[in-house]
Every structure is written in structure tokens, then in C-alpha cells.
Structure 1
Amino acid sequence: MNLAFIINDIKTEKSDYTTVHLALTAHRMGHKIYLIGAGELAYTTDGRMSAQAHTVKDTKYKSSDVFLKVLQESEPVNITSDDLDVLFIRNDPSDDQNDRTWAQNSPYVFGQIAMKNGVLVLNHPVTLPNSINKMYFQHFPEIIRPKTVITRDQNEIEEFFKEQKNRMILKPLQGSGGKNVFLVEEKTKKNLKQIIEAISRDGYIIAQEYLPKAKDGDTRMFLMNGEPLKVDGKYAAIRRVNSNGDIRSNIHAGGHPEKAKVDEAMLKLADALRPKLIQDGMFLIGIDIVGDKLMEVNVFSPGTLNLMSTEYGVDFCKAVIEAIERKIHYKETYGENVDNATLAIL
């Protein structure tokens, strides 16, 4: 199987990223892998997707550090969609929202071309544009979401603040990793105007109900093919615990991981997401849960899967690659009789 991953940029990729671990796992399983930066895609005169891709030779790599270093130092090779079985879109659009806005859309634009060329594209590139920011989150059942308004109007935010009894979360509509996330309460409301101005420089603002349980952190859970990812009875889920005094639990924002106890409330919440995920062809996503509420849905590049594998002593990355292998088997068996969106969640 020839499997390519679209990332933001090979130069900024890190060895502890989930994408690198997925690629290394696929390589160890005997597959040909490629990493493609969002700016290394192209369209040929004969209607094919092409790319300057980074790959490795048939060498065994003991660590993701060495594996990534070889990829970063390799001379890119030109490939086209004819060389690929699978294209896995794993870039983070929010990383390019300031300096490379053109790179936010290119993966799913070129992904749609690759799909037409017969490549299996994950997640489904036709619906990915709908989820480029946190507005996608609002398409899920209201009963499992915190109360939310999305606006750039200061008066609306102030009114919501009063409705929430002077405690709310403010964050950008597009962003990740806990950037520009603020808890506004009675003692900090004097800074509300400045916070709104700071966040609104990058676009719309999410004002969200504060959940008291958030002080204890959140749970990141992976869903694959619309269901919780599970290996040997262990769920791909991890608690992300806040640093002292910090409302953010994202690992990149200083939170630390702990084993998660997946309860019935979490499983019911995940099940409520399933119809929409299946409809949209979302193969692998990460959801963030506080109590019985859904806080975020990450369909582009959810991380921590490698941390979960280490924490629980099972290989979640291998389970993901095995799932992709099955999809290719189905594709070879049924040909064009089964579309990309359906294959993505089988």
C-alpha cells in the first residue's frame, strides 16, 4: 500500500506528532509512505494531483526521532496520484491562518482531485471544508454541547456574560492547542474589552458556557469509523490535566496526560456523534469531553494517539493502519461501486 500524509510543512513537523508515529507504523508494516507539505501539492495538465514528497528507504528505524530526521533531510521526489493508494489529510489549518492562508485550503482542494483520480482520501475531502473551524462543532446535537454564541459583537458577548452569571470561556473560532483561550469572570471582567479585541483580530469569537468540571481537565478520545477506537479492551482516550491555575488542558499548552476512565456518559456522547460522522465520511477524529459535554471536535490532525499507546501498552497507531488496509481491500473488491465517503467510515 502506498500511503501519503499531508502535513503543514516537513520542516515544522515534530517527532512526537501523531502523524509521524502513524507514518512510522505504516512503514514498519511494510507500506510505502510519503509526507507532503501543504505547499508541495500541484495539478498536472492531464488532470492528476502531483506532489513533491518526502519518503524513506526500506530501513528499520528504532525511533520516531531518527525516522523524522531522515524524512526532513531527504530530497523530495515527484509523485502523482497514480503512485498512491491512500492520501491521509493531517494538516492543521489553524497553524497557517496568519502567514500562509493559502495553505489552509490546499490539502482538501487537491485531495478532491486525488479522489477523482481513484485515490482513497481520508478524511473525506468534500466535507472537510465544512470543518475548517469550530463552527463544525455546532452541527452536533445541542444537548451534548455547552451553551455557545459565535460573534464579533462586543455587546452580544457582554450580554452572554451576564446570562452566564459572569463566568464564561472566550476563544477564537479557528485555532488549536489552547491558543487565545480565556476564562472571564467577575474579577477579570475589567479586561473583557481587551480580550475581545485580541481574539477578534483573527476573526470570530466563541463565547461559551463555563463548565466547573473543566478545572479538573478534559478527556481526549479518538473515534475511528464513527466509533470509539479500542484495542485489547482499552480505549484510545486520555485525561489531559490542567497545569496549576491554567484553564487549558491541551498538551501543547502545558497540560499533562493521565489514564482516562471511559464511562457510560462518554460512550453515549460518542454514540450521539456517530450519524453525523458517518454522513461526512470522517474516518479518524479526536473529541474533547468535559463531564457529559462535548467541548471540541478535531477532524484534521488530532494528536496524543502515540501518548495513549505508551500509556496503555497497546498500539493504537497499528489499529489505524490496519483499518486503512481494510478500506483498500474493500476498494479493490468493489471498485467504483462504493464511494469515497462510504469507504472512509467502513
Structure 2
Amino acid sequence: MKLLFVADPLESFKIYKDTTFAMMREAQKRGHSISTCEPTDILWQRGAPVTASVRHITLTGQSPDWFTEAPQAADALPLALKDFDAIVMRKDPPFDSEFFYATHLLEQAEREGARVFNKPRALRDHPEKLAILEWPQFIGPTLVTRDAQAIRRFHAEHKDIILKPLDGMGGMGIFRVKEDGLNLGAIIETLNKDGAETVMVQAFLPAIAQGDKRVLVIGGQPVPYSLARIPQGGEVRGNLAAGGKGVAQPLTERDREIAQAIGPVLAARGLLLIGLDVIGDHLTEINVTSPTCFQEIFDQTGFDVPAMFVDALEAACATA
């Protein structure tokens, strides 16, 4: 197959842990060709299909020069996205206006015959913080609001809370406020911008000490191991980007229950790969843009997550 990965600049990849790299490596091992572009490379003009200026690469397996790039003529034309067998959307968050616009261009490419994973409309319909609202039976006490007084009432009820912006990633902008309410007013002002922006507030879950588990679901089926991201030092955040320690472990019965309830539903909506964040027995987020942790789980358990993903991608392309 001819695969196009829409991603961040290749030069920014940390290949020892990058999930998109792991996908590419497995795909190349099976004989698929690898091309890449960034969202900025995608364009549409009336009378023509959606196209992109792409890089055709071969992985070398060596670092730091982990890929070679096929030379292209200076006058080489952009390629139509519909001419690839599959497009894998792997642009990292934040889900900002430019990400939103990219999903619309990719959806136009779909109308022209392109096959995009994860599906652009599904990316828009499932913002990573708010997607949990569809499954209240799995989440802890949660409030979504701009209202400062509503946040204060939630704190008075639950005593120990977590506040976070809806567009954050990697633990960015997360605050904990304990029973004493220290700095609650300043934190609310910082996050809700004097009522201009919506905030998510959740009761603090002490089980974070055992890790914020990433449960991967591919083609509706859970990977049998999660990666528990355990906060280090005085941190409340377990995110790897915030210094958390990743420890792979078998899914618990509760992890599997959550994954088996949500996974098939979202797979049917076009989300080939999702990452559920679970603390203790509670779902806290549903990651759909570019879920990670493939390599950490493989390195620690030997379970070949990239192979499971490419299996699912091949099967989806065969039936699309």
C-alpha cells in the first residue's frame, strides 16, 4: 500500500519513543511505501482534488539519520490525497483552529475517495476532554463550565479537585486545589480567562499514585497491556511529557470493561485508534488525535502494538 502520514516535522521525532515512527517502521517492514507531509502542505483549489507536497522516505533504522528522502524535481507537482491507499492523521495536539481546518481539507479528500484514519469528522466530534461526557457511568465527579461560582461550589463539595483547560495536552495547564482552597481564585482566572473559556474540573482521584493508565484500543479491540504513567516527586501529573514514569501492566477487569464498552462504538464512527486515560477505576479522557505509548508497551512486554495497528489499518483499507 501507499501510505501517507500527516504529522509533525520528521526532524522533531524522538524515534526511541515515537508512536508514528513505530507505525511507519512496521508498515515498511511489510513492504508498504511511506510518504509524509505536514498539515501546512495540504491544499485545495477549485477544479482540482485536495493535494499535498509530500516527502517519500525510507527508514534506515539508524539514529540520528533515521530516514532517507527520495529526491524530487524542483517542478514536482503536489500529489492528490485520493491516490494514496491510506492517509494516517497523526498531527499532535493542540486541537487548534489550524488542526480544525486540516480536518475539513481531509474530509474533502474523503469525498474525493481518500481513506483517512482517524476519520476527520470523528476527530472533530470527539474532543479529547469532552468525549468522556458520553459515558458518565465510567467517570468520576466532573464539571464543565465557565462559571467561577460553579467551580467554587464544586470545590466546596469535593474538597480536593483538579482543574484543566479543554485544549491542553501532555499535562499542560493542570492544577490541583486541596481542601484549603489555596489560590483557587487565581487558578480559575488563569484557566477561564474571566469567564471567556470553558474549564473542566474533576474530583481528585488518589489512585493517580498508582498511575494514569493509557489503555490503547485499536479497531475496537483493547491492547492487553496499559501504560501506567506514574507521577514522580511532588508532581500530580503522570503524563510522560511532565516527567511521569511509564510502567506497562496487564489490563485490569475494569480497564477491559471500559475499553470494550467504548472501543467498538468509536471504531464504528471511524476512530481506528484511541487512547483511553484511566485513573483507578475511572475514565478521565479519550485521546483520538495521536495516541502514543506503542513503543513503551512493546519494549516492556514484547506485545507488538505496531503490528496490531498495521493489521487493523490493512483490514480497514481492504473493506473501505
Output the TM-score relative to the length of structure 2: 0.90
After superposition, residues 32-71 of structure 1 pair within 5 angstroms as: 32-57=33-58, 61-63=60-62, 65-68=64-67, 70=68
Q: CA deviation at 1:133?
A: 4.4
Deviation, structure 1 residue 293: 0.8
* Native 8 Å contact 2:208 2:230 kept in 1: no
1:28 is aligned to 2:29: yes
- Look up the match of 2:183: 191
Residue 251 of structure 1 is aligned with which of 237, 240, 244? 240
Q: Deviations over 1:20-61 (max 9, x none)?
A: 22122212221111221111110133341101112214xx61
Q: CA deviation at 1:239?
A: 1.3
Q: 1:63, 1:256 → 2: CA distance? A: 26
Query: CA offsets per residue over residues 165-216 of structure 1, 9 Å max, x none?
Result: x1101011111100011111024x2311111122224932111111111122
More divergent stretch after superposition (218-227 vs 21-30): 21-30
Matched residue type, 1:161: H
Q: Is the 8 A contact 2:142 2:202 kept in 1?
A: yes
Q: For 1:62-211, what aligned pairs fall within 5 Å after superposition?
A: 62-63=61-62, 65-68=64-67, 70=68, 78-94=78-94, 97=96, 101=97, 103-139=98-134, 141-164=135-158, 166-187=159-180, 189-201=181-193, 203-211=197-205
Report percent identity of matched pairs.
27
Cα 1:74–1:152, aligned 2, differ >3 Å: closer, same or farther? farther
Q: Does structure 1 residue 297 correspond to structure 2 residue 286? A: yes
Structure 2: stretches of 5+ with no match in the other structure = none
* Structure 2 residue aligned with 1:19: 20
The aligned amino acid for 1:118 is G
Q: Which residue type is aligned with residue 190 of structure 1?
A: L
Cα distance change on mapping 1:181 and 1:75 into 2, 3 Å: farther
Size of the aligned set, in residue pairs, is: 315
8 Å CA contact 2:225, 2:248 repeated in 1? no
Matches of 2:267 and 2:161 in 1, distance apart? 32
1:55 aligned counterpart, secondary structure: strand
Cα drift, residue 73 of structure 1: 11
Aligned to 2:307: 318
TM-score with structure 1 length normalisation? Answer: 0.84
